[in-house]
Amino acid sequence: MEVAAAVIAWALSSTCRNLPASNNLWGLCPQQDLTTALHQRLSASAQIFLPGSDGYAQATTRWSVRDAPSFNIVVVPSVENDVVETVKYANSQNIPFLAVNGGHGAITTVGKLQGGIEIWLDHLSSVEISHDGTTAKIGGGTLSKVATDSLWAQGKQTVTGVCECTSVLGPGLGGGHGFLQGRYGLISDQFVSMNIVLANGDFQTIDKDSDLWWAMQGAGHNFGIVTSVTSKIYDVTHPDWAYASFVFTGDKVENLYGAINNHLLKNGTQPVDVINYSFFFNNPLLDPDNPLIMFFILQEGAGAVDPVYAEPFNILGPLTTDAASGTYTDLAAWTGNSIGAPPCQKSGLVNLRFPIDLQTYNVAAQRKVYDLFASATRTTPALNGSLFLFEGYSLQGVKAIPNDQTAFPNRGANLLVSPLLTYAPNTPALDQTAADLGESLRQILYEGSGLKELHTYVNYAFGDETEKNWYGHEQWRRDRLKTLKQKYDPFGRFNFYAPIM
């Protein structure tokens, strides 16, 4: 502690020397009061990082660099109480703060936090299975891969996001989609109890008996910092999975999405053990002129995807096909979502999504968005690394829970669809072009859907959507959220990630 304090003091004084006058750590340099005061409240192994250090760089590097929050200091809690102390201290100084986990939260609203304290949950990573084997206590900063691999080693599994590098709670507090949702429901449907630090720094253990519980399952980012969660876990009963993948050229758009509707989606009644997933992408080696479509069928409990599912797509004449079998833990790599895959890298790019929930594919609208994606990524080559994602998870577990039971607003949706516009930061004009393209693509699908309400999954949201889009259109939902917000976060300390205002 002594040594650490000395190191911090040194780091601060050197940081202070290097800071421009306009940015002097809330006017406290060179007194070092802030860091010292904070440090004294934390446990011996908690860490503090200041700008300019490697630790700071690692803690603050984000998946999408647009509208990034900025921090004058990073606290890395080592025990749950370090979060309590940090929140209380930040409040006493009136400094804004944000919990950061896997760093993949890209919604532009987080950019409103400037000059605050980042609470990096990275060291609150743990998975402890209960004696009876039906639940696990998962640390608030545990990444998906850590949770999945730790459980798998003991013959267990639970719902996580498909991406190995996002946390369990970042996705989970907004619902959280994953490969096992057809069996068990959303990530948040697994929650049994949680330890939470509230806006005023109070530390509570809450469960279904708390009025806050409903909100934590879908709108949780607005109400506290979860330092650990106890979630349901399950015996692995179907370890085997298989995939078949197909690459189609753009002339197959109508046939492909028509076949998905007819043979897989079936108005949201596709089999619980089948998942499909497709995206548009550019690859000049395969097609120099137009985007291609990658289509996956994933099947649980199978050594190969059943021809009943694969054959309707083989007969469409794919450019290439592939297939393999393995276990549940291979799914992230197969679909390009593993730790080493491009979506997990924080390589200084802007990543914007424009999500929309759909019930079925409107084949004519699929053609329109394909054509627009093709022409826009040709006209603006800076955007040609973009994808357009069409996620068709199985749904039984999600739909089995009544829609009013949690704050997750749209259990009836069948498809999670989103352009993902990716580019190296450049000019405001390019930002505008990308945002306009994303909005146009979403609007085409919305108009084609015939839906009366636009639902935009909060964890994929761009940031310009409304609270109705994120949290549901029913008045009672919004009243309930606002009442809870007034009670638990009256000063809006958790107003940076899709805020309820």
Ligand X SMILES: *[C@@H]1O[C@H](CO)[C@@H](O)[C@H](O)[C@H]1NC(C)=O
Ligand Y SMILES: Cc1cc2nc3c(=O)[nH]c(=O)nc-3n(C[C@H](O)[C@H](O)[C@H](O)COP(=O)(O)OP(=O)(O)OC[C@H]3O[C@@H](n4cnc5c(N)ncnc54)[C@H](O)[C@@H]3O)c2cc1C
Which spans of this chain sit near ligand Y (rule: CB under 6 A)?
A: 63, 98-105, 110, 121, 140, 161-163, 166-167, 169-171, 173, 176-178, 221, 225-226, 337, 343, 459-460, 497
Report the residue number, 266 or 487, with the smaller CB distance to ligand X: 266
- Distance from C-alpha of 79 to C-alpha of 121, rounded to nearest angstrom: 10
Residue (135 or 351) nearer to ligand Y, CB = 351
Is the separation of the CB atoms in 228 and 138 below 8 Å?
A: yes
Q: Cβ 293 to ligand X, closest distance in Å? A: 13
Distance between CA atoms of 490 and 464, rounded to whole angstroms? 23
Site for ligand X in 238-277 (CB under 6 A): 260, 263-268, 270, 274, 276
Residue carrying the six token digits 């519980």: 213
Q: Considering CB distances under 5 to 8 angstroms, the limit depending on partner class, which of ligand Y, ligand X, none binds residue 178?
A: ligand Y
* Least gap, CB of 498 to ligand Y (angstroms): 8
Residue 100 site contact among ligand Y, ligand X, none (CB < 5 to 8 Å, cut-off depends on kind): ligand Y
Closer residue to ligand Y in complex, CB, 178/392: 178
Residue 292 binds what, of ligand Y, ligand X, none (CB under 5 to 8 Å, by partner type)?
none
Taking CB under 6 A as the binding criterion, the range among 13-21, 104-112, 377-385, 447-455 that sits at the site for ligand X is 377-385
Assigned token pair, 316: 């469409």
Between 12 and 83, CB nearer to ligand Y: 83
The enclosing H or E element of 461 equals none
Pick one of ligand Y, ligand X, none as the site partner of residue 121 (Cβ within 5 to 8 A by kind).
ligand Y
Select 313 or 497, whichever has its Cβ closest to ligand X: 313
Binding partner of residue 441 among ligand X, ligand Y, none, CB cut-off 5 to 8 Å per kind: none
Cα 388 from Cα 12, distance rounded (Å): 44
In angstroms, what is the minimal distance from the CB of 93 to ligand X?
47
Residue pair 208/252 in contact (Cβ under 8 Å)? The answer is no
Task: Say what the alpha-carbon torsion angle 288, 291, 292, 297 is, to the nearest 10 degrees.
Answer: 160
Q: How far is the CB of 200 from ligand Y (least distance, A)?
A: 15
Q: Which stretch binds ligand X (CB under 6 A): 51-59, 387-395, 420-428, 457-465?
A: 387-395
Q: What is the CA radius of gyration of the chain?
A: 23
Instruction: Work out which of 53, 384, 396, 440 binds ligand X, going by CB under 6 A.
Output: 384
DSSP H or E run through 118: strand 116-120
Q: Binders of ligand X among 402-431, rule CB under 6 A?
A: 414-415
Taking Cα atoms as reference points, which of 302, 301, 307 lies closest to residue 321?
Answer: 307
Q: Which segments of 135-250 are extended strands (E)?
A: 135-139, 156-157, 191-197, 203-207, 225-232, 234-235, 240-248
Q: Determine the interface stretch with ligand X among 62-70, 113-121, 171-179, 280-288 (rule: CB under 6 A).
A: 280-288
Choose the binding region for ligand X from 380-388, 429-437, 447-455, 492-500 (rule: CB under 6 A): 380-388
Minimum distance of ligand X from residue 132's CB (angstroms): 33
Which residue, 74 or 305, has its beta carbon nearer to ligand X? Answer: 305
Rounded alpha-carbon distances, angstroms, from residue 329 to 147, 161, 180: 11, 12, 12
CA pair distance 272, 252, nearest whole angstrom: 27
Shortest spacing between CB 295 and ligand X, in angstroms: 8
Q: Which secondary structure element, helix H or strand E, spans residue 217, and what is its range?
A: none
Q: Are 81 and 203 in contact (CB under 8 A)?
A: yes
Kindly state the tokens that stand for 271. 């089999």
Q: How far is the CB of 487 from ligand Y (least distance, A)?
A: 18
Instruction: Give the containing element (helix H, strand E) for 117.
Output: strand 116-120
Picking from 293, 316, 286, the residue whose alpha carbon sits closest to that of residue 373 is 293
438 to 369, 433, 446, 468: CA distances (angstroms)? 10, 9, 12, 19
Report the residue from 20, 27, 284, 402 that binds ligand X according to the rule CB under 6 A: 284
Residue 366 vs 418, nearer CB to ligand Y: 418
Which residues inside 285-344 make contact with ligand X, applying CB under 6 A?
297
Of 303, 307, 381, 490, the one binding ligand X (CB under 6 A) is 381
Residues in CB range of 432: below 8 A, 6 or more apart: none
- Distance, in Å, from the CA atom of 145 to the CA atom of 80, rounded to the nearest integer, reads 21
Binding partner at 103 among ligand Y, ligand X, none, C-beta below 5 to 8 Å by kind: ligand Y
CB of 73 within 8 A of CB of 33? no
Which does residue 497 touch among ligand X, ligand Y, none (CB within 5 to 8 A, set by kind)?
ligand Y
Closest to ligand X by CB, 265 vs 481, is: 265
Output the smallest distance, CB 469 to ligand X, in A. 21
User: Of the two residues 51 and 463, which places its CB atom closer to ligand Y in the complex?
Assistant: 463
Among the listed residues 230, 237, 248, 247, the one whose alpha carbon sits nearest the alpha carbon of residue 272:
237
* 380 makes contact with ligand X (CB under 6 A): no
Q: Please report how close the Cβ of residue 313 comes to ligand X at its closest, in angstroms.
A: 7
Cα gap 419→438, rounded to integer Å: 6
User: What is the rounded CA–CA span in Å between residue 415 and residue 311?
Assistant: 22
Say how far apart CA 113 and CA 328 lie, in whole Å: 38
How near is the Cβ of 161 to ligand Y at its closest, in Å? 3
Query: Interface with ligand X by CB under 6 A: which residues?
Result: 260, 263-268, 270, 274, 276, 282-284, 297, 381, 384-385, 392-395, 414-415
